[in-house]
Amino acid sequence: MTKDQIKENIELVKNKIFEAEKKSGREAGSVRLCAVSKFHPMEDVLAAVDAGQKLFGENRVQEAYSKFNEIYSEDVQKSIQIKPELHIIGSLQSNKVKKACEIASCIQSVDRAEILAEIEKQCAKLDKKMNVFFELHTGEDSKCGFETEDLLLKSAEDCAGGKYPHVCPVGLMTMAPFTDDESLIRASFIKLRNLREKLNAEFPSLAINELSMGMSGDFQIAIEEGSSIVRVGTAIFGERDYSK
Ligand SMILES: *Cc1c(COP(=O)(O)O)cnc(C)c1O
* 181-206 per-position pLDDT tens digit: 999 999 999 999 999 999 999 999 99
Dump pLDDT digits (tens) for 138-161: 987 778 999 999 999 999 999 999
Distance 57 CA to ligand 1 centre (A): 8
Helices (H), 24-172: 42-50, 61-71, 74-80, 97-103, 113-126, 149-160
Distance 34 CA to ligand 1 centre (A): 10
Verify whether ligand 1 is closer than 6 Å to residue 173 (CB atom).
no
Q: What Cα–Cα distance (Å) separates residue 29 from each residue in 93, 222, 236?
A: 34, 15, 19
Q: Tell me which residue has its CA closest to atom 12 in ligand 1.
A: 89
With bands split at pLDDT 50, 70 and 90, how would you rate the model's confidence at 242?
confident
Dump pLDDT digits (tens) for 114-124: 999 999 999 99
Dump pLDDT digits (tens) for 81-112: 999 999 999 999 999 999 999 999 999 999 99
Q: Taking Cα atoms as reference points, which of 181, 180, 203, 200 lies closest to residue 192?
A: 200
Distance 1 CA to ligand 1 centre (A): 17
Instruction: Calculate mean pLDDT across residues 23-30.
Output: 96
Verify whether ligand 1 is closer than 6 Å to residue 216 (CB atom).
yes
pLDDT of 243 above 90: no
Instruction: Calculate mean pLDDT across residues 70-80.
Output: 96
Q: Round the CA-based radius of gyration of the chain to a whole number and report it.
A: 17
Q: Specify the amino acid at residue 20.
A: A
pTM for the full model? 0.97
Distance 125 CA to ligand 1 centre (A): 30
